[in-house]
């Protein structure tokens, strides 16, 4: 049994996740490659907007990996257009909703 990786997601982990998802890999395969649980992969993939898009949508113009403008913790996420600079998880926080 593989030991679960509880370290924060790195840029390399993010890149592996995105590329493996585009390549058609399952969450189990991605979990094995990154040393994380399937639940961790599913949660992170959803938070960054990756799993909300089909593989076909990921190849559309304007879909790009951008950095969330969260001033406390900027992080990469899958953006569906140049106008989209804040990830869904951050948009749902009180800080962003109060602005």
**Each residue's pLDDT tens digit, 24-47:** 899 999 999 889 999 999 999 988
SS3 of 85, please? coil
What pLDDT, on a 0 to 100 scale, did the predictor assign at position 98? 80
**Residues 6+ positions from 1 with CB-CB distance below 8 Å:** none
Q: Is residue 1 situated within a structural domain?
A: no
Q: Is residue 62 situated within a structural domain?
A: yes
What pLDDT, on a 0 to 100 scale, did the predictor assign at position 3? 54
Q: Please list the ranges in the chain whose pLDDT falls under 70.
A: 1-5, 99
Q: What is the CA radius of gyration of the chain?
A: 14
Q: Is residue 53 situated within a structural domain?
A: yes
Q: Is residue 5 situated within a structural domain?
A: no
Q: Is residue 77 situated within a structural domain?
A: yes
Domain residues for 42?
A: 11-98
Q: Is residue 37 situated within a structural domain?
A: yes
What pLDDT, on a 0 to 100 scale, did the predictor assign at position 2? 52
What pLDDT, on a 0 to 100 scale, did the predictor assign at position 31? 93
What pLDDT, on a 0 to 100 scale, did the predictor assign at position 93? 85
Q: Is residue 4 situated within a structural domain?
A: no
Q: How many domains does the chain have?
A: 1
Residue 5 CA to residue 3 CA, distance in Å, equals 6
Q: Is residue 94 situated within a structural domain?
A: yes
């Amino acid at each position: 049994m593989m030991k679960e990786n509880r370290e924060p997601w790195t840029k390399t982990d993010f890149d592996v996740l995105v590329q493996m998802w585009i390549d058609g890999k399952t969450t189990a395969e991605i979990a094995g490659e990154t040393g994380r649980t399937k639940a961790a992969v599913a949660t992170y993939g959803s938070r960054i907007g990756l799993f909300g898009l089909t593989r076909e949508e990921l190849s559309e113009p304007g879909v790009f990996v951008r950095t969330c403008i969260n001033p406390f913790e900027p992080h990469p996420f899958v953006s569906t257009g140049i106008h989209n600079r804040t990830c869904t998880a951050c948009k749902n926080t009180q800080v962003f909703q109060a602005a």
